[in-house]
């Protein structure tokens, strides 16, 4: 198959983009979005006995509550077993919050398709609370998705929760309403410092059309995701690994600045979908 056709096939479909955004916008936890408030899942008027899953989830939420910036290498795999196809992408993730507004930059730099050699393939995602901008340097295209009103920037975590459950972000009660959640004993000695949770989608879950199950591996020390694997009803597999993280070391604000190259042409604008007015 010509390389151009393969590249076009690798343009991210809505499900893939939603999956990535859901995980990457949500890696830093729920309570950061409400720093001035106490996370309702972390405290209670009186001590009650928690089951092991609730205990682990509460501990993870508590550990992510003070995160202000995050950088890591990202390894993204997309597998289609029925087509015997697999793509691998590598890049860098930057996240920070400034003046109550969240920013995210994902810079994919290489691509490996099936058995072919890994090659340079750059695609840049930048989210500023209002716009998600995607720059593809191979086909020289730019696309801007408006995700919130200009005067009402959206919190990254709220967007994430609409499309993907994120450990440390989604409330425990909400998580257990949508999924059967269980701790998995990790027998691999190399993963002894990780906590693994398996989520199986319930039949009535709002996520039932997107995922059949998800697996999360979290670092027991800092509570942040190390690896996330999701399985779709179409038997597709979405896998993200976050490597060599830098936590709360600050991110230069200029990292989130960008320019659309002149030879990209006019960017495609996808306006915000207006909600229909409520009946009086």
pLDDT tens-digit profile of 108-117? 999 999 999 9
Q: Give the pTM.
A: 0.78
Q: What angle do CA 275, 162, 90 make, to 5 degrees?
A: 120
Cα–Cα distance measured from residue 269 to residue 134, given in angstroms and rounded to the nearest whole number: 11
pLDDT class for 79, splitting at 50, 70, 90?
A: very high
Structure-block tokens of residue 108: 């994919």
Q: How far apart are CA 147 and CA 162, in angstroms?
A: 12
Kindly report, residue by residue over 233-257, the tens digit of the pLDDT: 999 999 999 999 998 899 999 999 9
∠ CA 253-101-226, rounded to 5°: 75
């Amino acid at each position: 198959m010509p390389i151009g056709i393969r590249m076009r096939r690798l343009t991210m479909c809505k499900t893939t983009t939603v999956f990535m955004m859901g995980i990457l916008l949500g890696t830093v936890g729920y309570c950061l979005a409400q720093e001035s408030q106490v996370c309702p899942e972390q405290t209670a008027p009186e001590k009650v006995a928690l089951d092991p899953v609730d205990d682990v989830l509460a501990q993870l939420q508590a550990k992510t509550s003070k995160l202000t910036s995050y950088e890591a290498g990202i390894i993204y795999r997309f597998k289609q077993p029925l087509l015997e196809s697999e793509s691998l992408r590598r890049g860098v993730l930057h996240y920070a919050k400034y003046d109550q507004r969240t920013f995210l930059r994902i810079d994919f730099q290489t691509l490996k398709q099936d058995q072919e050699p890994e090659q340079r393939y750059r695609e840049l995602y930048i989210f500023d609370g209002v716009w998600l901008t995607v720059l593809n340097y191979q086909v020289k295209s730019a696309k801007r998705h408006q995700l919130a009103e200009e005067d009402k920037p959206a919190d990254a975590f709220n967007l994430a929760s609409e499309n993907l459950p994120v450990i440390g972000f989604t409330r425990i009660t909400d998580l257990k309403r949508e999924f059967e959640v269980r701790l998995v004993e990790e027998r691999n000695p190399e993963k002894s410092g990780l906590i693994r949770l398996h989520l199986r989608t319930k039949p009535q879950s709002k996520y039932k059309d997107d995922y059949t199950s998800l697996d999360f591996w979290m670092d027991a020390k800092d509570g942040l995701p190390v690896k996330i694997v999701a399985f779709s009803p179409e038997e597709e597999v979405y896998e993200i690994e976050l490597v060599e993280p830098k936590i709360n070391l600050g991110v230069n604000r200029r990292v989130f600045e960008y320019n659309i190259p002149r030879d990209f042409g006019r960017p495609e604008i996808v306006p915000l979908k207006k909600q229909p007015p409520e009946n009086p």
